[in-house]
Homo-oligomer: A and B are copies of this chain.
Amino acid sequence: MRQAASVKVDLGRIRQEASGLANRFGIDGLSMNALAEALNIRPPSLYAHVSGIGEVKRLLAIQGLEELDRTATRVTIGKSGRDAVRALLVAYRAFAGKNPGVYAATIPTPPRDDKEWQTAVDRINETCRAVLQSYGFSGQDIIHALRGLRSLAHGFASLETAGALKNPVSRDESFTWLVDAFLAALDTMALRSKPG
């Protein structure tokens, strides 16, 4: 029996519906069944387009990383130093807040042989590294600062989307405080790195 007339299914629509489901019901609420239903086809039919639930999540991860990188690049254009770092962190948090499911999909590490996914990860790291570059860290300190930036951004976003920050104190203010603290720390560590 044929399906009631509907738009043909392709990777674009799969990405779109998968994003919606993940953002609404959490990354664990995204299943082949739910996705098939959203696309108005039977679950086995999905396998004509993707190899399984793993690939759906991989698509989400790559999509999320790319959008994150585009956003990061956009908001830091024409800025440097403190302004750029601040804009980057604000955009990162906003992305995670607006797309919790897609954001969650971006966290796992790609398998070694997955070039496309790995490239998407590398791109964001490069964008962040470029933003940090202007602080003038030497060698390894850039990596340290980069890891710090990611820890901070991911830590806050992750706790916030998990609903862990329940205290009535404004989360926005806490985030601003944290960004300021990180900027202050960057100044200090930059000085320590190349004193004088």
State the A residues within 8 Å of B (CB): 107-109, 140-141, 143-145, 147-148, 150-156, 158-159, 162-167, 169, 171, 173-174, 177-178, 180-182, 184-186, 188-189, 192
Contacts and interface: CB of A to CB of B under 8 A. Distances in A.
Contacts of A108: 162
A174 to B, nearest CB: 5
Describe A's contact surface by its main secondary structure.
helix
Contacts of A162: 107-109
Contact of A155 (B151, B181, B186): B151
A174 B155 contact: no
Contacts of A156: 147, 151, 155
A185 B174 contact: no
